[in-house]
Amino acid sequence: MNQSITQLQNGTAVITGAANGIGLELAKQAHQLNMNLVLADINFDQLLRVKEELHLTEAKTLLLKIDVSEETEIAHLCIKAYEKFGSVELLCNNAGVSLNRLSWKHSHQDWEWLMNVNLFSVAHAIRYFVPRMLEQGTPAHIVNTASAAGLLSTSGMAAYNASKHAVVTLSETLYQELQSIQSKIDVSVLCPAWVPTQIHLAQRNRPDRFGTHQDPSDSMSLKFEDRMSHAVQAGKMTATEIATEVFKAVEKQQFYIIPHRKINSLIEQRLQDIVLLRNPKVSES
């Protein structure tokens, strides 16, 4: 077993969006490594069910009701994690939400919700956790969950795409900075395509301050919603397999985690379009 996984064993994992989907599977695999778990989610009841289901002990577990879109709650998450366990060896900035509609049908509050949950949460976590991880001086790994949407530009998901592209470049920047100071903190960015979780039902987690969810009223936006719901449920890789890919990447100290290799041709096409100054290929909607 590679050194980096050995270093995770018995260490502490902080995982946001840990009550369901990919975050839950990351938590299960961290648990298998005998890590202490700091599980954060906006849905606390679901976290309690996870604790029961996995037989997690008080001594090795901290459950926190955290809305990652609030900077103060990320600060609280960091304080509580260090208070209980003293160090963090794995930080998974994973919580995320999605929205499907035409670009000009996103409201200001739609943009604020998506950007705060998907992007600013990661920026805040970096601001609070990285100085402490540097201070602890032991090897650690940060995994930011972006998406294939952070490498492509599929129609009907403007705010989601923008937030995930930003997470990719934020992660690349962080990686370079941490490498250039020879720190012991590694970084990876996770970019899956469709995975059967509840991401297509993300409006269930929309905090009141971002306004109530409005169903789209135009046929194109409804079609985008429908497409996402079907694509997510038909996703060929399970959340368990995605989590396995994450731990393999941590072991190999691999930055880009792109579990669905079939999207490579689309990524290549986009990069070629940019380099050759070709107009973007119009995707089927």
Ligand X SMILES: NC(=O)c1ccc[n+]([C@@H]2O[C@H](COP(=O)([O-])OP(=O)(O)OC[C@H]3O[C@@H](n4cnc5c(N)ncnc54)[C@H](O)[C@@H]3O)[C@@H](O)[C@H]2O)c1
Residue number, 185 or 257, with CB nearest to ligand X: 257
Residue 68 as a binder of ligand X (CB under 6 A): the answer is: yes
- Residue pointed to by tokens 């939400």: 97
Residue 88 as a binder of ligand X (CB under 6 A): the answer is: no
Q: How far is the CB of 82 from ligand X (least distance, A)?
A: 19
Pairing relationship of beta strands 12-16 and 90-93 according to DSSP bridges: parallel
Q: DSSP string of 180-206?
A: HTT-SEEEEEE-----SSSGGGGGGG-
- The count of other CB atoms within 10 Å of the CB of residue 76 is 15
d(CA 76, CA 187): 22
Contact predicate 224/267, CB 8 Å: no
Among 20, 36, 61, 100, binds ligand X (CB under 6 A): 20
The set of residues, in sequence order, having a beta carbon less than 8 Å from that of 222 and lying 6+ positions away, is: 215, 216
Q: How far is the CB of 172 from ligand X (least distance, A)?
A: 17
Residue number, 35 or 159, with CB nearest to ligand X: 159
Residue number, 188 or 197, with CB nearest to ligand X: 197
Beta bridge partners of 92: 15, 143
Q: How far is the CB of 128 from ligand X (least distance, A)?
A: 15
Cα–Cα separations (whole angstroms), residue 248 to 174, 192, 257, 262: 21, 15, 9, 19
Residue 26 as a binder of ligand X (CB under 6 A): the answer is: no
Among 117, 140, 168, 174, binds ligand X (CB under 6 A): 117
Of the residues 82, 128, 160, 175, only one is catalytic, namely 160
> How is residue 252 written in tokens?
């190999």
Residue 195 as a binder of ligand X (CB under 6 A): the answer is: yes
Residue number, 234 or 276, with CB nearest to ligand X: 234
Which residues ranging from 236 to 275 are in contact with ligand X (CB under 6 A)? none
* Catalytic site includes residue 128: no
Residue 205 as a binder of ligand X (CB under 6 A): the answer is: yes
The set of residues, in sequence order, having a beta carbon less than 8 Å from that of 180 and lying 6+ positions away, is: none
Residue 188 as a binder of ligand X (CB under 6 A): the answer is: no
Q: Which residues are catalytic?
A: 160
Contact positions vs ligand X (CB under 6 A): 16-17, 19-23, 41-43, 66-69, 94-97, 117, 145, 147, 192, 194-195, 197-199, 202, 205, 232, 235
